[in-house]
């Protein structure tokens, strides 16, 4: 289903034409729960992974939480669905459900490398705004399903490949023996949509903020803390997206130069805990407003409901990506 972001409630560009030169197109991915295959673009879905290629594992030793016994990923997802049905129907578990839950066996904890989990698979044909290295048409992102002390984030790995070159697809990839449930994405299909964004921009941002407040009737100015900045709320899309600008919130904007060559890195992919905030209704697609859809389709929670942003070097795909939290 196509997703349609409503227009912004006010249009700062009409009053501040200098913003137009700063505009950038972002692609909102709009993940929604589904049953994607390895041939589909997805968030949390199966990857088109060559059987001959080793599956990525995390060898880090700074996992923030103790590795405890877990049930299988399939059972974690089944338990989630049963819990959601129970909660939405306002009832207790049925006897059958209790029996199913009782049968879910925990596996003993291990201490070796951790098999990484698919987080995003994006075919260039589906996602405008991707700039693949020559000869590739598929981006795959995996993460280690634990927060790491170094940055509080799950450690990510990126792979670009050519889909036609994958002739023998790995059908039963390794799964992590342990994980944080909050970092196990539900499989989602995507419905990309392009939107225009404007960057955080210092003095101009302040002027736009003042003007914007004056346009919105009934604003309680004692309540401003609820909105960090109307500029940011109107000009930068929330949620999972390709490109665009970073929705700074935890810190002021800072450059994060490429460690290999010093060039300023650009946001490639934002993986969001939430697709929107309730006080930013203008970012909720009409279709999701009508259906009353959840703002947490992938059911992930990155370090206290934050976003993970993958930044890459614009000069070379060979240069390692940077990841950061906002
Ligand atoms: Zn790890
Ligand atoms: Zn570089």
Q: Which ligand is nearest to the CA of 144?
A: 1
Q: Is residue 263 part of a domain?
A: yes
**Ion ligand 1 — residues with CB < 5 Å:** 58, 60, 144, 146, 155
Closest-approaching ligand to the CA atom of 315: 2
Cβ partners under 8 Å of residue 140, min gap 6: 47, 48, 49, 118, 120, 121, 122, 158, 159, 160, 161
Res 89: pLDDT? 95
Whether 43 contacts 188, CB under 8 Å = yes
Q: What is the pLDDT of residue 230?
A: 73
Q: What separation in angstroms does the CA of 242 have from each of 227, 238, 272?
A: 24, 11, 11
Ligand 2 centroid–CA 304 distance in Å is 31
CA of 315 to the centre of ligand 2 (A): 6
What protein residues have CB closer than 5 angstroms to ion ligand 2?
258, 260-261, 263, 313, 315, 319
Neighbours of 91 (CB within 10 A): 10
pLDDT score recorded for residue 202 = 74
Q: Which residues contact 242 (CB under 8 A, 6 or more apart)?
A: 26, 27, 29, 122, 127, 129, 130, 192, 268, 269, 270
**Does 197 reside within a domain?**
yes
Q: How far is the CA of 145 from the centre of ligand 1 (A)?
A: 7
Residue 217 falls within a domain, yes or no?
yes
Ranges under pLDDT 70 in the chain: 216-228
The model's pTM: 0.93
What does the pLDDT read at residue 252?
81
Write the CB contacts of 77 (distance below 8 Å, at least 6 apart in sequence).
184, 186
Q: Supply 91's token pair.
A: 């009832």
CA 114 to centroid of ligand 1, rounded, Å: 6
Asked if the structure places residue 49 within a domain, the reply is no
136 is a domain residue: no
58 Cα–ligand 1 center, Å: 5
Q: What is the pLDDT of residue 217?
A: 64
- Interval between CA 94 and ligand 1 midpoint (Å): 37
Is residue 262 included in any domain, yes or no? yes
CA of 133 to the centre of ligand 2 (A): 14
pLDDT at 227: 57
Residue 112 inside a domain? The answer is no
- What residue numbers bound the domain in which 232 lies? 1-30+191-326
- E strands, the chain, are 24-28, 32-33, 42-43, 57-58, 114-115, 117-123, 138-143, 156-161, 188-189, 193-197, 241-243, 266-272, 307-312, 322-325
Å from CA of 310 to ligand 1 middle: 16
Ligand nearest to the CA of 322: 2
Q: How many residues does this entry show for the chain?
A: 326
Split into its structural domains, the chain has a count of 1
């Amino acid at each position: 289903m196509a997703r349609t972001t409503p227009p912004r409630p006010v249009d700062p560009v009409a009053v501040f034409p200098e913003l137009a030169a700063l505009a950038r197109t972002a692609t909102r991915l709009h993940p929604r729960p589904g049953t994607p295959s390895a041939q589909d673009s997805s968030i949390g879905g199966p990857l088109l992974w060559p059987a001959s290629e080793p599956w990525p594992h995390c060898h880090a030793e700074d996992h923030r939480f103790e590795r405890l016994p877990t049930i299988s990923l399939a059972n974690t997802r089944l338990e989630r669905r049963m819990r959601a049905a129970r909660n939405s129907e306002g009832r207790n578990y049925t006897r059958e459900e209790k029996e199913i839950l009782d049968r879910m066996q925990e596996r003993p904890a291990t201490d070796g490398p951790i098999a990484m989990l698919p987080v995003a698979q994006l075919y260039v044909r589906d996602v405008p705004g991707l700039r693949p290295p020559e000869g590739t048409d598929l981006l795959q992102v995996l993460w280690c399903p634990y927060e790491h002390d170094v940055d509080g984030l799950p450690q990510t790995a990126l792979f670009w490949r050519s889909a036609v070159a994958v002739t023998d697809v790995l059908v039963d990839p390794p799964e992590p023996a342990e994980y944080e449930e909050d970092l196990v994405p539900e499989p989602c299909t995507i419905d990309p949509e392009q939107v225009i964004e404007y960057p955080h921009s210092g003095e101009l941002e302040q002027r736009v903020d003042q003007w914007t407040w004056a346009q919105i009737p009934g604003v309680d100015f004692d309540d401003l803390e609820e909105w960090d900045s109307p500029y940011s709320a109107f000009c930068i899309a929330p949620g999972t997206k390709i490109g665009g600008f970073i929705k700074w919130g935890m810190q002021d904007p800072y450059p994060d130069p490429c460690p290999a060559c010093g060039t300023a890195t650009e946001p490639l992919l934002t993986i969001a805990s939430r697709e929107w905030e309730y006080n930013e209704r203008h970012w909720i697609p009409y279709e999701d407003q009508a259906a009353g859809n959840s703002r947490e389709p992938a059911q992930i929670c990155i370090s206290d409901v934050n976003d993970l942003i993958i930044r890459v070097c614009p000069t070379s795909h060979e240069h390692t990506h940077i990841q950061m939290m906002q």
